[in-house]
Amino acid sequence: MTAASSAASPTAPIDAPPHFCSGLVVRPTTPAIGADLFGVDLSKPLSADEKQDILDALHTHQVVFFHDQTLTNAELSAFSRLFGEPQPANESSFDKDEAFPEIDVLAFGGGRRPYNTQELWHSDFSGRAMPTMGSVLYCLEAPSAGGDTIWASGYAAYDALSDKMKAYLEGMQAEHRTIKAFGDDIRSNLWKDEKGRKRLQELQALPPAEHPVVRTHPVTGRKALFINEGFTERLLGVSRKESDAVLGYLFEHTRVPEFQVRFRWRKGDLAVWDNRVTQHYAVSDYTERRVMHRITIRGDRPF
Mean pLDDT, the chain, whole residue set: 87
Instruction: Assess contact for 29 and 4: CB atoms under 8 A.
Output: yes
Which residue among the candidates 122, 276, 290, 293 is catalytic per the annotation?
122
DSSP secondary structure letter of residue 206: S
- How high is the pLDDT of residue 7? 46
pLDDT at residue 284 is higher than 60: yes
pLDDT digits 0-9 by tens, 76-100: 999 999 999 998 766 555 566 778 8
Q: Which of 300, 295, 228 is nearest to 82 (CA)?
A: 295
Specify the 3-state DSSP secondary structure of 105.
strand
Residue 117 has a pLDDT of 42
Q: Which range, of 86-95, 262-271, 286-295, averages the lowest pLDDT?
A: 86-95
Query: CA-CA distance, 18 to 27, in Å (whole number)?
Result: 5
Alpha-carbon separation of residue 262 from 4, 100, 194 (angstroms): 5, 29, 37
The pLDDT assigned to 93 comes to: 56
pLDDT tens, position by position, 218-260: 999 999 999 999 899 999 999 999 999 999 999 999 999 999 9
Is residue 122 part of the annotated active site? The answer reads yes
Given 104, 124, 148, 274, the catalytic residue: 124
pLDDT at 10 over 70: no
**Positive or negative: CA dihedral 150, 154, 156, 162:** positive
Condensed to tens digits (0 to 9), the pLDDT of residues 62-80 reads 999 999 999 999 999 999 9
Average confidence (pLDDT) over 122-143: 92
Distance separating alpha carbons of residues 208 and 228, to the nearest angstrom: 14
Q: Is residue 274 annotated as a catalytic residue, yes or no?
A: no
Name the active-site residue from 27, 128, 234, 294: 294
- Active-site residue 294, yes or no? yes
User: What domains are defined for the chain?
Assistant: 16-297 (3.60.130.10)
pLDDT at site 2: 43
Catalytic residue from among 27, 215, 280, 290: 280
Per-residue pLDDT at 176: 95
With a cut of 80, say whether residue 147 has pLDDT above it: yes
